[in-house]
Amino acid sequence: MKVGAMRAIDRWAGIPICFLLTLARLPFGRAPFPAAPRRILFIELSEMGSAVLADPAMRKARGAFGAELHFLIFRRNAESLALLGTVPRANICTIREDSFAALVADTLRFFFWARRRRIDACVDLEMFSRFSAILAALCGAVWRVGFHRFHAEGLYRGNLLTHRVAYNPHIHIAKNFIALVNALAAQRAEVPFSKTVIGEDEITLPRILPGERESRAMEQRVAEAFPPFEPRRHRLILFNPNASELLPQRRWPAEHFAQLARRALERWDDAVILITGASEEAAEADELRRRVGHARMVNFAGRLELRELPLLYGIAALMVTNDSGPGHFASVTDMPTIVLFGPETPALYGPLGRGRAITAGLACSPCVSAANNRRTACADPVCMAAIPPERVLDAMAEFLDAPDG
The verdict on 51 and 106 lying in the same domain is yes
Is 27 among the domain residues?
A: yes
Burial of 377 (0-12, 13-18, 19+ CB in 10 A): exposed
Task: Give the 3-state DSSP-derived string for 296-339, with helices as H, strands as E and coil as C.
Answer: CEEECCCCCCHHHHHHHHHHCCEEEEECCHHHHHHHHCCCCEEE
pTM over the 0.75 mark: yes
CB 199 within 8 A of CB 52: no
The verdict on 181 and 117 lying in the same domain is yes
Is 80 among the domain residues?
A: yes
DSSP assigned state of 193? B
What is the pLDDT at residue 29?
Answer: 43
The verdict on 227 and 130 lying in the same domain is no
The verdict on 160 and 71 lying in the same domain is yes
Per-residue pLDDT tens over the stretch 231-284: 999 999 999 998 877 788 999 999 999 999 999 999 999 999 999 999 999 999
The verdict on 226 and 158 lying in the same domain is no
Does residue 27 register a pLDDT over 70? no
The verdict on 197 and 237 lying in the same domain is no
The verdict on 228 and 115 lying in the same domain is no
Is 103 among the domain residues?
A: yes
Per-residue pLDDT tens over the stretch 297-324: 999 999 999 999 999 999 999 999 999 9
The verdict on 226 and 170 lying in the same domain is no
The verdict on 186 and 237 lying in the same domain is no
Does residue 189 register a pLDDT over 50? yes
Is 144 among the domain residues?
A: yes
* CATH code of the domain containing 258: 3.40.50.2000
What is the pLDDT at residue 33?
Answer: 53
The verdict on 192 and 291 lying in the same domain is no
Per-residue pLDDT tens over the stretch 48-57: 889 999 999 9
Task: Report in angstroms the alpha-carbon separations of 112 from 17, 106, 119, 174.
Answer: 19, 10, 11, 30
Last residue of a domain, one of 181, 203, 225: 203
**By residue range, what is the domain housing residue 115?**
3-203
Task: Report in angstroms the alpha-carbon separations of 1 from 102, 126, 160, 334.
Answer: 10, 19, 27, 36
Is 405 among the domain residues?
A: no
Is the torsion defined by CA of 39, 45, 50, 52 positive or negative? positive
CB 257 within 8 A of CB 393: no
How many folded domains does the chain comprise? 2
The verdict on 122 and 8 lying in the same domain is yes
Last residue of a domain, one of 175, 203, 231: 203
Last residue of a domain, one of 203, 238, 260: 203
The verdict on 186 and 220 lying in the same domain is no
